[in-house]
Amino acid sequence: MDIVDRGDDSGEGPVQIAFADTREEAALIRGLLREAKIKSIARQTSFEGPTLGTGLLTRSSRRIYVRSEDAAAARTLIAETMVEDPAEIEIPEPVNAAYLDEARGHKPRGYNMIGAYARTWLVAIVVLGLILVAFLIFH
């Protein structure tokens, strides 16, 4: 999400205040603005401009527009509320990570690629063999 500030808030029409990477992010921004009683619209865009009929599953960016008199308040609200870089927050280490060396029990199996395929083929052959034996018994 990017806050757009071009300084052209004195015009008559709607003013772009934000650029959202996804439809969901645009919905969150519009909900935040709606709570503050600021009317907004979102337009789907791509490199060529608005795109129509691209489907529901596409990841498309949106531009958020408000009235020119609400632009400054909307930008301030978004800047105060939205978290720009969640990677700056340090993720805590899992609780058991400090004690992994002291753990007892089985160690993880280390199958290489050939071992994994060999085990898969062996299981498949055994299952097919059991099916064949059952078929011969009941036939």
Q: What pLDDT is stored for residue 134 in this prediction?
A: 96
In the predicted structure, residue 59 carries a pLDDT above the cut 60: yes
Question: Does residue 67 fall inside a structural domain?
Answer: yes
How many other C-beta atoms lie within 10 A of the C-beta of residue 66? 23
Nearest to 41 by CA among 69, 15, 7, 61: 15
DSSP β-bridge partners for residue 3:
18
Question: Does residue 60 fall inside a structural domain?
Answer: yes
**Domain total in the chain:** 1
- Across all residues in the chain, what is the average pLDDT? 79
In the predicted structure, residue 72 carries a pLDDT above the cut 60: yes
Which tops the pLDDT comparison, 3 or 51?
A: 3
Q: What pLDDT is stored for residue 124 in this prediction?
A: 96
Q: For residues 126 and 37, what is the distance between their CA atoms, to the nearest angstrom?
A: 67
Question: Does residue 25 fall inside a structural domain?
Answer: yes
Question: Does residue 13 fall inside a structural domain?
Answer: yes
Question: Does residue 120 fall inside a structural domain?
Answer: no
Note whether 66 and 38 are within 8 A (CB): yes
Q: What pLDDT is stored for residue 4 in this prediction?
A: 75
Note whether 23 and 54 are within 8 A (CB): no
Rounded to an integer, the average pLDDT of 34-51 is 78
Q: What pLDDT is stored for residue 99 in this prediction?
A: 64
Which tops the pLDDT comparison, 136 or 56?
A: 136
In the predicted structure, residue 53 carries a pLDDT above the cut 60: no
In the predicted structure, residue 14 carries a pLDDT above the cut 60: yes
Q: 78-136: per-residue pLDDT in tens?
A: 888 876 565 556 666 665 566 666 667 776 666 677 777 888 899 999 999 999 999 99
**Which of 16-20, 46-50, 72-76 shows the lowest mean pLDDT across its residues?**
46-50
Rounded to an integer, the average pLDDT of 22-32 is 90
Question: Does residue 133 fall inside a structural domain?
Answer: no
Question: Does residue 69 fall inside a structural domain?
Answer: yes
Domain CATH code at residue 61: 3.30.70.1530
Q: Which residue segment(s) compose the domain that 43 sits in? A: 2-84
How many other C-beta atoms lie within 10 A of the C-beta of residue 5? 15
Note whether 41 and 17 are within 8 A (CB): no
